[in-house]
Structure 1
């Protein structure tokens, strides 16, 4: 059995690095759009179970609508704790493969997710780096308790080192859709440049082109005209 887990924070605390350009309501709308894009890709890739790890009712409702199962945390303790919670639950259910991706990678494709799952074999955990090369945007473990995962920069390098210390042979997949997580203003510009097909891309273009979103449009246009280097991510 293959189980995928997508941790999602409370909406009111989501995307703090975007507070300079998006209001709380806009950030919430962005998070919901990104999650729907990720869950649609997972639905097409068709693991046996997809969990959304959350304590947010609105997020749980989105999960159910798109065929995923909410896995409810008692409290929001961060990305690492959410993944560990899902890993333990996957092990208890006898899963053969555990896959985790974040909810903020709207350009991930079903083909990329299928590649990630297919690469996972016992003794060889699979990691997908973020666009910066510092974060970890995808992991596949066979079985789920192969190793402990700890997120937070520079988690990609740390995961490879931790796997080797355990005598494992980590594998790395470079998957461009999964690599692009939307954390900082420049990530929004990259998405605008690359994407009109996802719900998230369409949302950003609608903000740019709708007269009712004049303030958002001007902020995004300003960032696009003056991009800043993207820093380390997950």
Structure 2
């Protein structure tokens, strides 16, 4: 089996722009990408592809194979799945709370497909045993899309319910979860810039 990580560094994570500059966001996404790659390798997945529209930030990548595709995310991934001859795990690059144990559990599913939902109806990961018999449709409520597509292609599926695997880092409030629950370079980077502000209400992010 192999894993593929869609990735774009240029002007990444615009929704974090209220708290991080463009340069900081690009540094941060690179750290998260490398952390996800390390997690996959710890889980025993050695064949890892990065699917990107540009080589920007990937010029010195040695941990994984880089594939360039300038098409829309769905077109690029579906082309990738069509050509795959072994099970594929699609993993988003912004999952610093994902652990190797999560990955092992996801790929050990007895079903044809394992879907890992993200916040707000998104999909953080997909494990597809028969990739040429499946298509992805990200954006919008991709989780519901992926459940429907599995039924359409007569593939049975399992939903992997996990707070950590389900926490993708998109908004400033997501950084709170990283500071509370995270570890590794991504957390260390954010830890140098922010602290947790604890009051009677919810825990909030505050600059150092």
TM-score by length of 1: 0.78
CA distance in 2, matches of 1:150, 1:38: 22
Please identify which structure carries the higher strand content: 2
How do residues 23-62 of structure 1 correspond to structure 2 at under 5 angstroms? 23-61=21-59
How do residues 1-234 of structure 1 correspond to structure 2 at under 5 angstroms? 2-9=1-8, 11-61=9-59, 63-64=61-62, 67-73=63-69, 75=70, 77-89=71-83, 91=84, 94-95=85-86, 97-119=87-109, 121=111, 124-132=112-120, 134-195=121-182, 197-208=183-194, 225=204
CA distance in 2, matches of 1:225, 1:99: 33
Please identify which structure carries the higher helix content: 1
8 Å contact from structure 2 (residues 173, 204) kept in 1: no
CA distance in 2, matches of 1:28, 1:84: 26
The runs of 5 or more residues in structure 2 that have no matched partner are none
Deviations 1:123-173 (A, max 9, x none): x211011144x1111101112112110111211112112211222222111
CA distance in 1, matches of 2:137, 2:110: 18
Deviations 1:190-219 (A, max 9, x none): 211222x221111111113xxxxxxxx7xx
8 Å contact from structure 2 (residues 97, 181) kept in 1: no
8 Å contact from structure 2 (residues 172, 205) kept in 1: no
CA distance in 2, matches of 1:69, 1:178: 23
**DSSP 3-state at the match of 1:30:** helix
Deviations 1:13-55 (A, max 9, x none): 3101112221100101110111111011011112241001114
Query: Moved runs in structure 1, 4+ residues, more than 4 A?
Result: 220-224
CA distance in 2, matches of 1:58, 1:47: 25
CA distance in 2, matches of 1:107, 1:61: 26
CA distance in 2, matches of 1:62, 1:108: 24
Aligned length: 203
**DSSP 3-state at the match of 1:128:** strand
The runs of 5 or more residues in structure 1 that have no matched partner are 209-216, 228-234
CA distance in 1, matches of 2:58, 2:115: 27
Residues 198 and 143 of structure 1: is their aligned pair in 2 closer, same or farther, counting only changes over 3 Å? same
8 Å contact from structure 1 (residues 126, 139) kept in 2: yes
